[in-house]
Structure 1
């Protein structure tokens, strides 16, 4: 059960994978991890992505983003990938 979802919002399955291109099939999207990270990096470089002052979890997100961008693949990248998927989804316009 998902609580707090907006009216009309739907849950979309996504499988992150190593390469190729994004495709839809079997009720889910298959998305290359590099594509998600690329969209996130581009939005950050262009200044299209900011975290509001006072946002809950802001410092944790900034720390995780910094570590991820500095070292690449991290074991603790949940917030980064969630944000990246949201950015990817928004950019795709799907």
Structure 2
């Protein structure tokens, strides 16, 4: 078993368990402007509590060879509105989000 098979996300409202391998296939949609941000590429965890602090979504960067994903938008977990069947709805101002490589 690898980390994708073991990792579970426990959502505090009721008992909501979701495997990471299924979570990363969901499209992240920003409710503020209706933009599709992409699929979840990473989770940022608090080392002490083990809780999810944020999700990361690849940010497309254009170059002369095409589109590359060199940076990630970090979306705080508190900005997630809902986990749907095939989407994750967020409310976030992307221009204010932290980006990481």
TM-score range, shorter chain: under 0.3
TM-score (norm 2): 0.26
Higher strand share: 2
